[in-house]
Structure 1
Amino acid sequence: MVDELKLTILLKQSTHHLAIQEHIGNWLHRAQLSDEEFKASHYERAFKHIVFSSLIPIEKDGIYQQGRAYVLTIRSPLRDTLQRLKLCMQQCREDEHFQLVTSEIQRPKRMTHITEMLAITPVIVTVNRKPWLHENSVEQLLQQLHNNAVKKLLSLEPETQVEEGNHFIQGIRVENKKPIGLHYKGRKLLGNKLKLFINDDPQSQRLAQTVFASGLGEKGSSIGAGFCLAKYLV
């Protein structure tokens, strides 16, 4: 199950697209401090099961423009999380970068069978505490993405049995020639736009649905990394 919180926002400062994700994350986290459950879990090393998109429409020159309205999508497999977040955003309607105009929770079309996934925000994967780069092996990338997906699924469904050695990704393609650096706490986190081809078996489908809802890779709740679109069979 997956739900989306759609926010229409007014941008108060023109901002580069590589910096906007951090500003969005900071606004969301600041708003969450009004909720005791969010506040208590803020520093816990646990999956938040929230991932957010870039602002839509995307600007061709890479600069989001002051005074323009954009749509932000926040996705989660936990409807209660989005309902509480919606209330938080209504109490923290603006900061120095954004002003909230409208908010609405929607349920996207049900996906019965995912065939492909495309990350529209960079996917961040670390191997031995370093970012995965083009010169690293694809096998490492696949393994880290799979391991992360399994951990997210088990955090949602602890009783689920996951067969080892059965990766949910059949194939992968890196869409960018150079790593993409997203601003985060005074540094840049390097990530990549990825296209995934998903295996057909039930376990692979469940893992694909999990990362669609919770984000692919790392830093989904912090800077919206790994927000994906999915292609599926009806």
Structure 2
Amino acid sequence: MFFELKLTVLLKKSTHHLQILEPIGNWLSQAQLGDPLLKQTHYEKSYKHFVFSNLYPVEKDGLYQEGRIYVITVRSSLEDIAARLQQCLKSCRESDYFQLIASELKPRRLGHITELLTVTPTVVTIDGKPWLPDDSLELLIERLHANAEKKYKSLKPDAVESMKQPFIQGAFIENRKPLAMVYKGRKLLGNKLHLLIQEDAYSQKLANVVMGSGLAEKGSILGAGFCLAKYLK
């Protein structure tokens, strides 16, 4: 299970889809300062356990338009985090880019997950450099698994489960070349992925953590690794 916060917003500045993720993250970060717990965790080097989408509906030309209404989806593996974010945004309703119109928080429970598809680029760094499609696919899967397992164990510190094989059975790169998101004045490269998920119970737990906490890195500040799932109902 994870929790989904739908934010209906008015966009105040026309912005390219790969440049709007940073302003969304900045707005959420600013809002968190109004909550003592979120403010503390904001400055800690720990998993924040939330991830957010780009604006919806998607614009065909990739340019989100000033004055239009869009929806941002924020997900968290923890109900408390999602609820606190919702309350913070009620006090921090506007930024340079957004005006909050409405918010709605709901729990989500999926069936058996068979596939994960990233909507926003996934960021994986190896020795300080981004993983690129020319690099080893096995290494990518290994890093994705390790990140998901660490997030799971930070949520369930007493869990003793582990597995020798990755929770990902297969991975496909959806883009021809890496996608460049703007972050702190520079470009951060990521890739859109299509993942096939193992059937065992532990793999399913990791897949659910990915849905609520994001795939790989930069989920809480750039919305990187925000996924959709295909699942058996």
Give the TM-score taking structure 2 as reference length. 0.98
Structure 1 residue aligned with 2:105: 105
Q: Distance in 2 between matches of 1:156 and 1:163?
A: 14
Q: Distance in 2 between matches of 1:162 and 1:131?
A: 29
Same amino acid, percent of matched pairs: 57
Structure 2 residue aligned with 1:96: 96
Structure 2 residue aligned with 1:121: 120
SS in 1 for 2:93: coil
Contact 1:127 1:140 (C-alpha < 8 Å) held by counterparts = no
SS in 2 for 1:171: strand
Q: Distance in 2 between matches of 1:168 and 1:92?
A: 38
Question: Offset at 1:107?
Answer: 2.1
Q: Distance in 1 between matches of 2:162 and 2:125?
A: 23
Read off the aligned partner of 1:130 and give its amino acid letter. K
Structure 2 residue aligned with 1:151: 150
Question: Offset at 1:164?
Answer: 3.8
Structure 1 residue aligned with 2:211: 212
In structure 1, list runs of 5 or more residues that go unmatched: none
SS in 2 for 1:172: strand
Task: Note the alpha carbon deviations across 1:200-233, whole angstroms, 9 max, x for none.
Answer: 0111111111111100010000000000000001
Q: Distance in 1 between matches of 2:206 and 2:167?
A: 7
Q: Distance in 2 between matches of 1:51 and 1:40?
A: 18
SS in 2 for 1:140: helix
Task: Note the alpha carbon deviations across 1:29-78, whole angstroms, 9 max, x for none.
Answer: 00111111111111211000010001000101110000000000000011
Misfit runs of 4+, over 6 Å: none
Structure 1 residue aligned with 2:86: 86
Q: Distance in 2 between matches of 1:176 and 1:43?
A: 33
Does residue 1:37 correspond to 2:37, yes or no? yes
Say what the alpha-carbon RMSD is for the aligned residues.
Answer: 0.8
Q: Distance in 2 between matches of 1:105 and 1:41?
A: 21
Structure 1 residue aligned with 2:4: 4
SS in 1 for 2:140: helix
Q: Distance in 2 between matches of 1:209 and 1:75?
A: 11
SS in 2 for 1:59: coil
Q: Distance in 1 between matches of 2:56 and 2:50?
A: 18
Give the TM-score taking structure 1 as reference length. 0.98
Q: Distance in 2 between matches of 1:68 and 1:223?
A: 22
Contact 1:115 1:230 (C-alpha < 8 Å) held by counterparts = yes
Q: Distance in 2 between matches of 1:185 and 1:193?
A: 21
Q: Distance in 2 between matches of 1:5 and 1:151?
A: 24
Structure 2 residue aligned with 1:52: 52
Q: Distance in 1 between matches of 2:8 and 2:186?
A: 28
Question: Offset at 1:163?
Answer: 2.5
Task: Note the alpha carbon deviations across 1:56-115, whole angstroms, 9 max, x for none.
Answer: 00101110000000000000011111111111001010011100000110123x212100
